[in-house]
Amino acid sequence: MGAPVGLAIVGEASIWPAAGVSAALIVAGVVVLVAKARGAGAGAPITGPPPARTAFAGREPPFAIMLEHIVDPIILVAGMDEADIGDRRFVFANAAARDLLRIQRPDGPLTTAVRAPEILAAVEGALFAQESRETLYETRGVQERFWRVRVTPLTGAEWGSGGDRLALLTLRDETEVRRSERTRANFLANASHELRTPLASLAGFVETLRGHARDDVDARERFLSIMHAQAERMRRLIDDLTSLSRIELGEHIPPSGRVDMRAAVIDVVDALGPLAAERGVTLSPVLPPSDSAVALGDRDQILQVTQNLVENALKYTPTGKVVTIEVLGDFDFTTATTATAPSGAHLSLLTPEHAAGKRYVALRVRDVGPGIARANLPRLTERFYRVEGQRVLDKPGTGLGLAIVKHIVNRHRGGLTVESAEGVGSVFTAYVPQVQTAADGAVAPAP
């Protein structure tokens, strides 16, 4: 019975347009495997067209090993008596299925492995109504996972002495897709919320100015200045959102330019000088000689990282105090992950892959602001995250600055760390791969 069953099922597999060729392969493989297990392979009569085997020169592919190694869980279920729902058994489960469903025996009652009613109902439909069905399955545990389960009848296939019917279950892991859908939905909800607040305030003031404040010159001036601040806030939000999406779009392409970090810091310190003076805060750069800390990077993006970190430090530093901006060449991963001071908490917000042995250029911004509580550190690079209850001098931030920094540094294949102690201050360190220059006695870019 084995060979004819196999042929019939390969034909059936075309009912899965999405799964395509791999589905046909799986079905053919499972059936050959089952047929072999029953010793019904070689001598069985063949009906229907011969299988396409030219590529294997008459030899059968190693279906059993192939199925065992397919990353999607695959289970073959047999059932005979429609009225007796206890007779459904799994007769094959590949390694992924055994691992997921903690299957220890080669066969057993289906309900010992799967208890989800939708899957059991789909199995009934496949075995006794020849229906193919898709359903979703959620597994809990340390990490929640979402699976798309397809249940397909193996039409014409019978198995076992009593002529069991067969159904094939394949599970596809859709956790990542679900997670990114959720992230996108959350992001849209947060972005709309952030924009709605200043918009509502603007609309309210427009109404007031058209109504009872129409002839009140003082009130009008006051309201117009608040409206201006709200419009500015919306502009900052839109600018940051646009930058973030542009950075994300190009994040998979590493930059190839050369950026002298010393020059970048000088430019940012010059640009932020007036703001620092207005706040009574001193910006103190600590820089290496020219050309000794050249990063493999995109100049505009490196300037943006520097500006965001220095602006944050400025925002939270009290009048009369100093923000230190240090550039360090020949920086390595071990130094990056080592705290600079004994007190406080230290966390890597982004860690580059394959960092061991590589040389980096680091930008380290140190402030003596309020610091950030240990529990809040992991959330700093989340979009729209702002530490609650923090006193901000004038403009409230968008909560996107550090997310932008993280995505830029990630594009540069670099890292980002934070060290902070409440009441003492914070140190942010962004590091990106260094270009070796003639000054180092080498000319090739870092790998």
Residue numbers at the binding site for ligand ADP (CB under 6 A): 308, 312-313, 316, 367, 369-370, 372, 380, 385-387, 390, 397-403, 426
Q: Distance between CA 171 and CA 169 in Å, rounded?
A: 7
Closer Cβ to ligand ADP, 96 or 368, answer by number? 368
Structural contact between residues 169 and 150, judged by C-beta atoms closer than 8 angstroms = yes
Identify which of residues 20 and 396 has a Cβ nearer to ligand ADP in the complex.
396
**How near is the Cβ of 425 to ligand ADP at its closest, in Å?**
7
- Between the two ends of the chain, the Cα-to-Cα distance in Å is 59
Identity of the residue numbered 423: G
Nearest residue (CB) to ligand ADP, 262 versus 406: 406
**CA 351/CA 360 separation, integer angstroms:** 13
Q: How far is the CB of 236 from ligand ADP (least distance, A)?
A: 8
**Residue 323 Cβ vs ligand ADP, minimum distance, rounded to whole Å:** 9
- DSSP class of residue 445 equals B
Cα-flanking dihedrals φ and ψ of residue 77, to 5°?
-115, 140
Nearer to ligand ADP, 175 or 340 (CB): 340
If the CB atoms of residues 190 and 390 are measured against ligand ADP, the closer one turns out to be 390
* Cβ-proximal residue to ligand ADP, closest one: 397
Report the nearest approach of ligand ADP to the CB of residue 240 (Å): 8
Q: Which is nearer to ligand ADP, 151 or 402 (CB)?
A: 402
Q: Identify the DSSP state of 92.
A: E
**Which residue, 243 or 426, is less far from ligand ADP as judged by CB?**
426
How far apart (Å, rounded) are the C-alpha atoms in residues 430 and 447? 19
Find the shortest distance in angstroms from Cβ 386 to ligand ADP: 3
Q: How far is the CB of 371 from ligand ADP (least distance, A)?
A: 6
Cβ contact 138:146 at 8 Å: yes
Distances (CA, A) of 58 to 3, 7, 41, 53: 15, 16, 15, 6
CA–CA gap between residue 408 and residue 244 (Å, rounded): 9
In whole angstroms, the minimum distance from the beta carbon of 74 to ligand ADP comes to 45
Q: Which of 419, 407, 183 is nearest to 308 (CA)?
A: 407
